[in-house]
Structure 1
């Protein structure tokens, strides 16, 4: 005969069931939060109205680009100087406040984000409602899912930033609506409509009525690919684990130029394969300016992890067309395609990792390429603190920004020494 006291201990009140469900939801939050996903951090407080957690990410880096003095000629024969870098920076600092409010399924993120190398400071975030695991609807900042690395991998890259192939082709981060979910045990998706390819440095008054659209679908045959789907096999998978995906983005882009003396474009997301900004004056013909253009990208990716070994390959196809311009140009459309592959191996599990990468781009005006080598050292038993060394060789890199490793037009080597903490 069952003791009534035992039955009382086994039965749970509705309040206890709510607490259990809330804890499950909070655990899920820590692993699935979207393209700008905070770390676990610390719990600052929680009551019946909600919760608040604090986490942060910081990257300190020394970078030296060689040779110091460089120049190159673009596809129109114009000589362009390459302003190489040699500096020490607390490159990136991000702090998140996150949790749920009023309803355990109503998530929020408040993000303080700065890139000190470009003096960029933003307060951004998102609000999401988790209807179920098949459908989460979010409003706020997110990455347009035109390439795999914009679907939640950061900061679990092999180095502190993306490599050349990914950096050149990918879309950027913008405000918009995102729907994401897990349709089956192995099938995942993310869809987004946003304001533009990138909202960095762009005011709402500069936007046109055109929107940017993107989507990504991927399959995980074993149901998982490690935390955040990150690069490298820090987890030391005992069984072969794979991921296969397809992503696409389309946007009608504007120069976003302010009416000033230089009329410089604020849209810096799209470069030609010789490092020239599509929207800069004279990019395709002397004295001619592209005011608007269609950007379309399709990418496919496949990756595998097994006992500390990691391999990933991405192929990209990019189309630029529909030019609105103030004069004739030799090209009315531009097609670039290329691939990036990267690999890593844990030579001492969860302590020492070596990695390499290679990119080649078949461009309309140039065929740039890159080869990368480096290693990671993890001082403690966590992936969230590491020391990183990266050395690359590039041939006339087609992109340049203060966000990553590249200066447009550079041919030569870059050495980067860094440490980053994800808390």
Structure 2
């Protein structure tokens, strides 16, 4: 094993050094022979070659020794084989070179149809280019280090052992709030979400990672790590089952509970989530969990379980200096699709399903909250004032139990979509003083219809929370949210504008993301531009 690893490092180092020296030599010699395919000058109008053949399997590294042209001048440092031996695996296209940059093709061979389709825009914008001069991916220095790619390439890298994928998205929002009573009005332009995502595989295609950075204008910290976790596909690795049958995940991530939280913020129909889904939210935490799917059944069920630090704890500091109690929380979620193919994660029917697509799910979360953990003890809100439960309880109360449940269903059909999610929460087992059991429940109903197919959607939403937590069991109170809006999709979720108006009748949450404060009554109007890649 050590000998093999050492050999791989020698090969990689020799490749890098030789390639750099070859490129440098090429830059110093403008009159190089254009018959050398990797070094063809653009001004000779000679087409660059499509690439150099490499072996398909990383494990067969000895085949690399004869996989490069002699013009690269690579001297391999392996006594086990000599230059010029015939490769022992099927070669595939890896790279092609021209005088201005290093043009990297996919590690899997791109067929002519893919190549032509990905290059169509370049050929239209610059008719002087020939198809042999346009490549899907370019890497080089052009006033700065540049990595450029055509759109929608299928590189086939999902199951490579080492892989890095970069994504990003942002939301710029204009928010106006006009309160009915004594609440402060608001009129601001805000950066609500600015996300950079690094994901991929490490060591094995069964071991994946996910890191998400977040920046926003209404946060005290300019940038933070929102998610970071690893997951390992146990069943595929150990028993060669279908991918996703059984896996383990650990790190900081969204806890399995509700549909509203499971959705990415960029896949929401409205500018943001509803009041009720935020009220019953579990959000993120440091956790250890399992996930899987019953792929062998006619109707696969996707499920996830997690053991985590507590409700709405996020990345709160742990250990003796932290503000968390010593009680873990548990949560779980499952969902399945009774009919049709659901497709991408968003609720809006962007594709205009010809067959009815449905989705059904459920979740739960439970924990004991102790006064010693101020982060958790102060997180529970009440109806309808939105005040913290900790401020209403007798001081002698030291702990209590919380259980939350969710049920959801969604459908898409011919541009129309509808979603509903119902929650209920029990707070029981008060220790230290008598407090009756408290029960809150709520829901959000949402629908959308594309009046211009794939482009313009009209939306409506009703959200409601009802319960006796605000009066410590004496009587029920409630609050409502009514909203309507429209969205224009320039390029699906990659570029869209959303505008919605919401009437609040006593908000039960305190959310800087939603721009809602406890007890708010009035109109909230949001206009949002979203860009993602």
Q: Does the TM-score normalized on the shorter chain lie above 0.5?
A: yes
Deviation, structure 1 residue 253 = 2.5
Instruction: Report what 1:32 is aligned to.
Output: none
Note if 1:193 corresponds to 2:333: no
Aligned match for 2:247, one of 121, 133, 136: 136
Aligned match for 2:363, one of 247, 260, 274: 247
Deviation, structure 1 residue 254 = 4.0
Aligned match for 1:111, one of 212, 220, 225: 212
Deviations 1:354-407 (A, max 9, x none): 111002222214210111101111123x22211010101111111112022421
Matches within 5 A, 1:172-187: 172-184=283-295, 185-187=299-301
Q: Distance in 1 between matches of 2:323 and 2:450?
A: 47
Matches within 5 A, 1:85-234: 85-120=186-221, 121-123=223-225, 124-131=227-234, 132-184=243-295, 185-200=299-314, 202-204=316-318, 205-222=322-339, 224-228=341-345, 230-234=346-350
Q: Distance in 2 between matches of 1:234 and 1:266?
A: 39
Deviation, structure 1 residue 256 = 6.2
For the residue of structure 2 that corresponds to 1:94, the secondary structure is strand
Change (3 A) 1:108 1:148: same
Instruction: Report what 1:37 is aligned to.
Output: none
Aligned match for 1:294, one of 401, 421, 433: 401
Instruction: Report what 1:63 is aligned to.
Output: 175
Deviation, structure 1 residue 298 = 0.9
Q: Is the 8 A contact 1:52 1:97 kept in 2?
A: yes
Deviation, structure 1 residue 251 = 1.8
Note if 1:399 corresponds to 2:502: no
Deviations 1:266-311 (A, max 9, x none): 7553200123443543x245xx375533221111111110011001
Matches within 5 A, 1:38-49: none
Deviation, structure 1 residue 186 = 3.0
Change (3 A) 1:289 1:125: farther
Answer 1 or 2: which has greater strand percent. Answer: 1
Q: Is the 8 A contact 1:271 1:399 kept in 2?
A: yes
Bigger relative contact order, structure 1 or 2 (CA pairs below 8 A, ≥6 apart) = 1
Q: Is the 8 A contact 1:68 1:84 kept in 2?
A: no
Q: Distance in 1 between matches of 2:153 and 2:531?
A: 11
Answer 1 or 2: which has greater helix percent. Answer: 2
Aligned match for 1:355, one of 428, 440, 459: 459
Extract unaligned runs of 5+ from structure 1: 1-11, 24-39, 71-81, 259-264
Change (3 A) 1:226 1:340: same
Q: Distance in 2 between matches of 1:289 and 1:247?
A: 32
* Bigger-Rg structure (1/2): 2
Change (3 A) 1:297 1:48: closer
Deviation, structure 1 residue 414 = 0.3
Q: Distance in 1 between matches of 2:465 and 2:436?
A: 20
Q: Is the 8 A contact 2:160 2:205 kept in 1?
A: no
Q: Is the 8 A contact 1:94 1:111 kept in 2?
A: yes
Change (3 A) 1:157 1:255: farther
Extract unaligned runs of 5+ from structure 2: 1-55, 61-88, 93-106, 109-151, 235-242, 471-476
Q: Distance in 2 between matches of 1:362 and 1:130?
A: 41
Q: Is the 8 A contact 1:246 1:300 kept in 2?
A: yes
Deviation, structure 1 residue 197 = 1.2
Instruction: Report what 1:321 is aligned to.
Output: 428
Aligned match for 1:303, one of 397, 410, 414: 410
What is the root-mean-square deviation of aligned Cα atoms in Å? 3.0
Q: Distance in 1 between matches of 2:385 and 2:442?
A: 15
Change (3 A) 1:280 1:269: closer
Instruction: Report what 1:53 is aligned to.
Output: 165
Instruction: Report what 1:332 is aligned to.
Output: 436
TM-score by length of 1: 0.79
TM-score by length of 2: 0.63
Q: Which deviates the most, 158-167 or 345-354?
A: 158-167
Change (3 A) 1:163 1:369: same
Q: Is the 8 A contact 1:118 1:403 kept in 2?
A: no
For the residue of structure 2 that corresponds to 1:155, the secondary structure is helix
Deviation, structure 1 residue 115 = 3.4
- Report the number of matched residues: 367
